[in-house]
Structure 1
Amino acid sequence: MQKDNIIKEKSFHFALLIIELYKICKLQNEFILSKQLLRSGTSIGANIQEALAGFSEKDFLHKMSIASKEARETQYWIDLLSESQLVKFDEAKYKTEIKSIVNILTSIVKTVQERKKKNRIQNP
Protein backbone atom coordinates (compact mmCIF):
# COMPACT_ATOMS: atom_id res chain seq x y z
CA MET A 1 0.00 0.00 0.00
CA GLN A 2 1.33 3.40 -1.00
CA LYS A 3 2.18 5.62 1.99
CA ASP A 4 0.86 8.93 0.73
CA ASN A 5 -2.01 9.74 3.06
CA ILE A 6 -2.02 9.13 6.82
CA ILE A 7 -5.80 8.78 7.24
CA LYS A 8 -6.04 6.50 4.21
CA GLU A 9 -3.28 4.31 5.62
CA LYS A 10 -4.63 4.33 9.21
CA SER A 11 -8.17 3.48 8.12
CA PHE A 12 -6.95 0.56 5.99
CA HIS A 13 -4.90 -0.90 8.83
CA PHE A 14 -7.77 -0.29 11.23
CA ALA A 15 -10.12 -2.22 8.92
CA LEU A 16 -7.72 -5.16 9.16
CA LEU A 17 -7.85 -4.86 12.98
CA ILE A 18 -11.65 -4.85 12.83
CA ILE A 19 -11.65 -7.99 10.71
CA GLU A 20 -9.39 -9.56 13.34
CA LEU A 21 -11.81 -8.52 16.12
CA TYR A 22 -14.76 -9.84 14.10
CA LYS A 23 -13.05 -13.24 13.95
CA ILE A 24 -12.47 -13.13 17.73
CA CYS A 25 -16.15 -12.32 18.24
CA LYS A 26 -17.28 -15.20 16.05
CA LEU A 27 -15.02 -17.63 17.92
CA GLN A 28 -16.69 -16.48 21.14
CA ASN A 29 -20.18 -16.87 19.64
CA GLU A 30 -20.99 -13.18 19.38
CA PHE A 31 -22.63 -12.62 16.00
CA ILE A 32 -24.93 -9.60 16.29
CA LEU A 33 -22.78 -6.71 17.54
CA SER A 34 -19.78 -8.04 15.64
CA LYS A 35 -21.57 -7.66 12.29
CA GLN A 36 -22.42 -4.03 13.10
CA LEU A 37 -18.78 -3.49 14.08
CA LEU A 38 -17.52 -5.10 10.88
CA ARG A 39 -19.79 -2.95 8.70
CA SER A 40 -18.98 0.37 10.33
CA GLY A 41 -15.30 -0.36 10.96
CA THR A 42 -14.54 -1.29 7.37
CA SER A 43 -16.69 1.44 5.83
CA ILE A 44 -14.49 4.17 7.32
CA GLY A 45 -11.71 3.47 4.85
CA ALA A 46 -14.12 2.90 1.97
CA ASN A 47 -15.62 6.36 2.49
CA ILE A 48 -12.16 7.90 2.76
CA GLN A 49 -11.21 6.28 -0.56
CA GLU A 50 -14.37 7.72 -2.13
CA ALA A 51 -13.59 11.16 -0.67
CA LEU A 52 -10.10 11.11 -2.12
CA ALA A 53 -11.57 10.29 -5.53
CA GLY A 54 -14.20 13.02 -5.20
CA PHE A 55 -14.82 15.46 -8.02
CA SER A 56 -15.35 18.50 -5.83
CA GLU A 57 -14.65 19.90 -2.39
CA LYS A 58 -18.34 19.38 -1.59
CA ASP A 59 -18.09 15.69 -2.54
CA PHE A 60 -14.86 15.34 -0.53
CA LEU A 61 -16.44 16.95 2.54
CA HIS A 62 -19.57 14.81 2.28
CA LYS A 63 -17.64 11.53 2.14
CA MET A 64 -15.20 12.55 4.88
CA SER A 65 -18.18 13.48 7.06
CA ILE A 66 -19.67 10.03 6.48
CA ALA A 67 -16.32 8.44 7.33
CA SER A 68 -16.27 10.46 10.55
CA LYS A 69 -19.77 9.29 11.46
CA GLU A 70 -18.83 5.67 10.73
CA ALA A 71 -15.74 6.04 12.92
CA ARG A 72 -17.86 7.32 15.80
CA GLU A 73 -20.29 4.44 15.32
CA THR A 74 -17.39 2.00 15.36
CA GLN A 75 -16.15 3.58 18.57
CA TYR A 76 -19.60 2.96 20.06
CA TRP A 77 -19.58 -0.75 19.09
CA ILE A 78 -16.08 -1.23 20.51
CA ASP A 79 -17.13 0.44 23.77
CA LEU A 80 -20.30 -1.65 23.91
CA LEU A 81 -18.41 -4.91 23.33
CA SER A 82 -15.88 -3.91 25.96
CA GLU A 83 -18.33 -2.77 28.64
CA SER A 84 -20.81 -5.61 28.11
CA GLN A 85 -18.02 -8.16 28.40
CA LEU A 86 -19.73 -10.28 25.74
CA VAL A 87 -16.32 -10.85 24.21
CA LYS A 88 -12.87 -11.01 25.75
CA PHE A 89 -10.40 -8.99 23.69
CA ASP A 90 -7.54 -6.53 24.03
CA GLU A 91 -9.71 -3.43 23.79
CA ALA A 92 -6.89 -0.92 24.31
CA LYS A 93 -5.42 -1.18 20.82
CA TYR A 94 -8.83 -0.83 19.18
CA LYS A 95 -9.83 2.12 21.37
CA THR A 96 -6.51 3.88 20.76
CA GLU A 97 -6.71 3.45 17.00
CA ILE A 98 -10.34 4.50 16.61
CA LYS A 99 -9.81 7.54 18.82
CA SER A 100 -6.91 8.60 16.61
CA ILE A 101 -8.99 8.10 13.46
CA VAL A 102 -11.94 10.06 14.89
CA ASN A 103 -9.59 12.92 15.83
CA ILE A 104 -7.99 13.06 12.38
CA LEU A 105 -11.33 12.91 10.56
CA THR A 106 -12.82 15.58 12.82
CA SER A 107 -9.85 17.81 12.06
CA ILE A 108 -10.15 17.22 8.30
CA VAL A 109 -13.88 17.98 8.26
CA LYS A 110 -13.50 21.12 10.39
CA THR A 111 -10.62 22.39 8.25
CA VAL A 112 -12.55 21.96 5.02
CA GLN A 113 -15.68 23.54 6.51
CA GLU A 114 -13.67 26.54 7.73
CA ARG A 115 -11.99 26.90 4.35
CA LYS A 116 -15.39 26.83 2.61
CA LYS A 117 -16.75 29.44 5.03
CA LYS A 118 -13.71 31.66 4.51
CA ASN A 119 -14.08 31.38 0.73
CA ARG A 120 -17.77 32.35 0.93
CA ILE A 121 -16.87 35.46 2.97
CA GLN A 122 -14.07 36.46 0.59
CA ASN A 123 -16.08 35.67 -2.56
CA PRO A 124 -19.72 36.56 -1.83
Structure 2
Amino acid sequence: MSEFGNLLEEKCMNFSIRIVGLCRFLNEEKHERRIADQMFRSGTSIGANVAEAQCAISKNDFVAKLYISLKEANETLYWLRLLQKTQYITNKQYESIYNDCEELKRMLVSITKKMTTACSKS
Protein backbone atom coordinates (compact mmCIF):
# COMPACT_ATOMS: atom_id res chain seq x y z
CA MET A 1 0.00 0.00 0.00
CA SER A 2 1.23 3.50 -0.72
CA GLU A 3 2.32 5.99 1.90
CA PHE A 4 -0.82 7.99 1.06
CA GLY A 5 -2.95 4.88 1.66
CA ASN A 6 -1.31 4.26 5.02
CA LEU A 7 -1.87 7.89 5.99
CA LEU A 8 -5.53 7.68 4.93
CA GLU A 9 -6.09 4.50 6.95
CA GLU A 10 -4.39 6.02 10.01
CA LYS A 11 -6.45 9.21 9.75
CA CYS A 12 -9.64 7.15 9.33
CA MET A 13 -8.83 5.11 12.44
CA ASN A 14 -8.10 8.24 14.47
CA PHE A 15 -11.31 9.82 13.23
CA SER A 16 -13.31 6.70 14.14
CA ILE A 17 -11.87 6.84 17.65
CA ARG A 18 -12.98 10.47 17.91
CA ILE A 19 -16.45 9.53 16.65
CA VAL A 20 -16.75 6.79 19.26
CA GLY A 21 -15.80 9.33 21.94
CA LEU A 22 -18.27 11.89 20.61
CA CYS A 23 -21.07 9.32 20.56
CA ARG A 24 -20.25 8.26 24.11
CA PHE A 25 -20.42 11.94 25.14
CA LEU A 26 -23.75 12.39 23.34
CA ASN A 27 -25.22 9.28 24.96
CA GLU A 28 -23.92 9.81 28.49
CA GLU A 29 -23.85 13.59 28.87
CA LYS A 30 -26.53 14.83 26.48
CA HIS A 31 -28.78 11.74 26.52
CA GLU A 32 -29.04 11.98 22.75
CA ARG A 33 -29.15 8.52 21.22
CA ARG A 34 -30.82 8.89 17.83
CA ILE A 35 -28.35 11.29 16.26
CA ALA A 36 -25.49 9.59 18.11
CA ASP A 37 -26.42 6.27 16.50
CA GLN A 38 -26.51 7.84 13.03
CA MET A 39 -23.20 9.60 13.70
CA PHE A 40 -21.63 6.36 14.93
CA ARG A 41 -22.71 4.46 11.82
CA SER A 42 -21.59 7.01 9.25
CA GLY A 43 -18.47 8.21 11.08
CA THR A 44 -16.99 4.77 11.66
CA SER A 45 -18.07 3.52 8.24
CA ILE A 46 -15.61 5.88 6.54
CA GLY A 47 -12.61 3.93 7.79
CA ALA A 48 -14.32 0.55 7.55
CA ASN A 49 -14.89 1.04 3.83
CA VAL A 50 -11.33 2.28 3.30
CA ALA A 51 -10.11 -0.90 5.02
CA GLU A 52 -12.46 -3.01 2.89
CA ALA A 53 -11.13 -1.31 -0.25
CA GLN A 54 -7.68 -2.72 0.53
CA CYS A 55 -9.02 -6.18 -0.40
CA ALA A 56 -10.87 -5.05 -3.51
CA ILE A 57 -10.95 -7.55 -6.37
CA SER A 58 -10.46 -4.88 -9.03
CA LYS A 59 -9.68 -1.21 -9.49
CA ASN A 60 -13.38 -0.56 -10.03
CA ASP A 61 -14.25 -2.35 -6.80
CA PHE A 62 -11.55 -0.32 -5.01
CA VAL A 63 -13.00 2.94 -6.32
CA ALA A 64 -16.54 1.86 -5.41
CA LYS A 65 -15.52 1.21 -1.79
CA LEU A 66 -13.80 4.59 -1.60
CA TYR A 67 -16.89 6.28 -3.03
CA ILE A 68 -18.91 4.68 -0.23
CA SER A 69 -16.39 6.13 2.25
CA LEU A 70 -16.78 9.52 0.60
CA LYS A 71 -20.57 9.35 0.87
CA GLU A 72 -20.28 8.35 4.54
CA ALA A 73 -17.94 11.30 5.17
CA ASN A 74 -20.48 13.62 3.60
CA GLU A 75 -23.25 12.18 5.76
CA THR A 76 -21.08 12.55 8.85
CA LEU A 77 -20.53 16.23 8.02
CA TYR A 78 -24.30 16.63 7.89
CA TRP A 79 -24.78 15.10 11.35
CA LEU A 80 -21.99 17.28 12.75
CA ARG A 81 -23.64 20.42 11.37
CA LEU A 82 -26.94 19.31 12.89
CA LEU A 83 -25.34 18.67 16.29
CA GLN A 84 -23.74 22.11 16.23
CA LYS A 85 -26.89 23.92 15.10
CA THR A 86 -28.97 22.18 17.79
CA GLN A 87 -26.29 22.99 20.39
CA TYR A 88 -25.54 19.40 21.34
CA ILE A 89 -21.88 20.22 20.76
CA THR A 90 -19.99 23.48 21.19
CA ASN A 91 -18.54 25.46 18.31
CA LYS A 92 -15.06 24.40 19.45
CA GLN A 93 -16.01 20.69 19.44
CA TYR A 94 -17.71 21.12 16.08
CA GLU A 95 -14.81 22.91 14.37
CA SER A 96 -12.23 20.38 15.52
CA ILE A 97 -14.01 17.22 14.43
CA TYR A 98 -15.62 18.86 11.38
CA ASN A 99 -12.18 19.90 10.10
CA ASP A 100 -10.90 16.34 10.54
CA CYS A 101 -13.84 14.97 8.56
CA GLU A 102 -13.37 17.59 5.83
CA GLU A 103 -9.72 16.54 5.54
CA LEU A 104 -10.76 12.90 5.09
CA LYS A 105 -13.31 13.97 2.50
CA ARG A 106 -10.67 15.92 0.55
CA MET A 107 -8.33 12.92 0.63
CA LEU A 108 -11.09 10.62 -0.60
CA VAL A 109 -12.08 13.02 -3.38
CA SER A 110 -8.46 13.23 -4.49
CA ILE A 111 -7.89 9.48 -4.63
CA THR A 112 -11.25 8.67 -6.23
CA LYS A 113 -10.66 11.27 -8.95
CA LYS A 114 -7.22 9.85 -9.70
CA MET A 115 -8.46 6.25 -9.65
CA THR A 116 -11.52 7.03 -11.77
CA THR A 117 -9.25 8.56 -14.39
CA ALA A 118 -6.93 5.54 -14.22
CA CYS A 119 -9.86 3.09 -14.51
CA SER A 120 -11.33 4.89 -17.50
CA LYS A 121 -7.97 4.72 -19.32
CA SER A 122 -7.68 0.95 -18.87
TM-score by structure 1 length?
Answer: 0.88
Q: CA deviation at 1:20?
A: 0.6
Alignment gaps of 5+ in structure 1 = 120-124
**What are the residue-to-residue correspondences of 1:21-60 with 2, within 5 Å?**
21-26=22-27, 27-60=29-62
Match of 2:87 among 85, 88, 96: 85
Query: What letter corresponds to residue 72 of structure 2 in structure 1?
Result: E
Mind listing any 5+ residue stretches in structure 2 that lack a counterpart? none
Kept after mapping to 2: 8 A contact 1:28/1:87: no
Question: Which structure: larger Rg?
Answer: 1
Out of 63, 71, 74, which is 2:65 matched to? 63
Task: Identify the residue that residue 122 of structure 1 maps to in structure 2.
Answer: none
Aligned residues: 117
- What is the identity percentage for the equivalent residue pairs of Structure 1 and Structure 2? 33
Deviation at 1:93, TM superposition (A): 1.3
Which of these residues, 84, 95, 98, is aligned with residue 98 of structure 2? 95
Of 87-96 and 41-50, more deviation after overlay is shown by 87-96
Q: Post-superposition shift, 1:29?
A: 0.9
Q: What do the CA deviations read for 1:48-101 (whole angstroms, capped 9, x no partner)?
A: 001011121011011001010001001110111011113447112101100000
Amino acid at match of 1:93: S
TM-score by length of 2: 0.90
- In structure 1, C-alpha distance between the alignment counterparts of 2:104 and 2:89, rounded to whole Å: 23
The answer on 1:18 being equivalent to 2:19 is yes
Q: Secondary structure at 1:40's aligned position in 2?
A: helix
Instruction: Find the aligned partners of 1:17 and 1:110 in 2 and give their Cα distance.
Output: 27
C-alpha separation in 1, matches of 2:103 and 2:6 = 14
